[in-house]
Each structure stands twice: as C-alpha cells, then as structure tokens.
Amino acid sequence: MGAPKAALEWHGSTLLRRICGIVGRAVDGPVVVVRAPGQDLPGLPDGVAVVEDAREGRGPLQGIAAGLNAIRDRAEVSYVSSTDVPLLHPRFVATVLRALDDETDVVLPEVGGHRHPLAAAYRTALAEQVERLIAEDRMKPAFLFERVRVKRLDAGALLADPALAALDPGLDSVLNLNERDDYAAARARPAPEITVRRFGALRRLGDGLPDPAVVRAATLGEAAAAAGLTLDEHVVAALNGDQITRDPQAPLAAGDAVAFLAADAGG
C-alpha cells in the first residue's frame, strides 16, 4: 500500500477508526486492536484496548492469538477483522456471529472463491490451539481449520439473512484493500445512504432539506453537514434510536437512521 493501512484517510476519519466503530456496534463485548510491537496507531474510540503481537511480521495467526488471549476471560466468542475492509457492515458481523453454535468453533465466510479468516468468528478458547500452531511454525490459518470444527458460510448462506441481503447485497463487507488502486476505487464510491431527521429548533435548519431526508454520509460528521448542522455542545445525535453521540468520526453504514436533537451546553 505504501503507507500504514490503519491510518489511511476515510471520509475524515481513518480505516482503523472506522473498523473499530463498526465492529463495536455489532458486538456486546470489548473491542481489541492488535498492533505490531511499538506500532503507532491513529486515534481510537474510547474504550478500545490495544495489545501487541508477541513478534512482528508473523502473519494473521500471531495477531489472532494476541487478540483471543486478550479477551478469553471476558468473552466466549470473538469476531476477527482486518483493518482494510472499510465497507464492512455491522449486519455482516452480526450474521457471522449468529451462525456460531454448539457444534462450531469457527464460522468462516467463503465469498468470491476465497476464504476470509479475517472476517470470521472464533471461540476464544481456541487461543491455546493457535499458540501451539505458532510454536510449531505452522502459521497459516488453514492449519487451524484442519484441527477445529468449522462452519463455512458461502454467499448464499450469508445472504439468507434478509437484512444483510438488503444492506450489503454485494457482500462488500469482505472487500479488502491491498494496493493503492484498491484504496482509490473504494474511496471513490458513494458514501452510504443514511436517513436523517432533525428535531426541535434544528428542524428550521438545513436549507430546505426535507425531514426526514436521505443523505449520503460515511460518518456522523458528514451526516450533520448534509443536514446543515455542526456537531457541537448544542447538538446531540441518536444513532438508530439508541446510541447517543457527538463524535463526528462515528462510522455510519447503509440503512442507518440518525436523529439530531438540540441540547443545552451540559447535555
């Protein structure tokens, strides 16, 4: 890529900031970022933990081991994501996690003729098996899949979820960026369609924008700008009716609904 993927700009935010926010919306446990030893990271949302690989440049299993070990005492299941999937949708994460059952250790999407071990669900108890493979210098995820119970989800199985089929019909959630041209093409895509509403005194703003309105925005800040608003101490947003935030870098995805409300300076 020619530059650290984690810090690549994405609609005024970064790839890493976006992925943390998207995954965080789909899970009810901690979000952990695994970095190379001493690696500088861009700003992260509050509450995100950072751990380090035991050794640098050892491939995805090393990072998976670090992540699973970091949360195995707090969660039974983990969704593992790479940094370079900016079109990841929270519904994709939820669909993969829901597919894990008592007879499964790993839920592995297989889309476009490729397996996606960095868009998969893992039981955190697998940390010990992953560590053993690393000790044996068997560093490919395929070696883990030979030893555990894997449920493979092809495109048909994933899109059997009607919500995912509506929100991410092309399964762009697994589209990763390996070269500058990949990044440029993804960044040139239109932002997701978001429904925006304004309440109270804010309804008078927006240069004639209908209410509700459908706008294109990849972040809360972009949605506010499209609605003729500025996120400050006087404005608060409710995302999909529950998450309350003023963070302009909070990521948005197709189908989201944002309600902007007036708030006093202490609100």
179-188 tens-digit pLDDT? 999 999 999 9
CB 53 within 8 A of CB 37: yes
194 pairs with which residues across the strands?
215
Superfamily (CATH H level) for 193-262 = Beta-grasp domain (3.10.20.30)
Superfamily (CATH H level) for 5-183 = Spore Coat Polysaccharide Biosynthesis Protein SpsA; Chain A (3.90.550.10)
- Check residue 265 and give its pLDDT: 41
Residues of the chain with CATH 3.90.550.10: 5-183
Half-sphere CA count of 262, side-chain side, radius 13 A: 7
C-alpha 2: how far from chain center = 23
Q: DSSP 3-state helix, strand, coil percentages of the chain (rounded to 5)?
A: 35, 25, 45
31-89 tens-digit pLDDT? 999 998 888 999 998 899 999 987 766 778 999 999 999 999 999 999 999 999 999 99
34 pairs with which residues across the strands?
51
3-state class (DSSP) for residue 42: coil
Identify whether 212 is preceded by a cis peptide bond (ω within 30 of 0): yes
d(CA 90, CA 93): 5
- Check residue 55 and give its pLDDT: 74
Joined together, the tokens standing for residue 46 give 């509050």
140-176 tens-digit pLDDT? 999 999 999 999 999 999 999 999 999 999 999 999 9
Give pTM, 2 decimals: 0.93
Residues of the chain with CATH 3.10.20.30: 193-262
- Check residue 135 and give its pLDDT: 92
Positive or negative, the CA dihedral 158, 111, 182, 49 is positive
238 pairs with which residues across the strands?
244, 259
CB 80 within 8 A of CB 116: no
Q: How confident is the model at residue 128 (pLDDT cuts 50, 70, 90)?
A: very high
**What pairing do the DSSP bridges indicate for beta strands 32-35 and 257-262?**
unpaired
Joined together, the tokens standing for residue 114 give 């490729």
d(CA 63, CA 77): 16
208 pLDDT more than 80: no
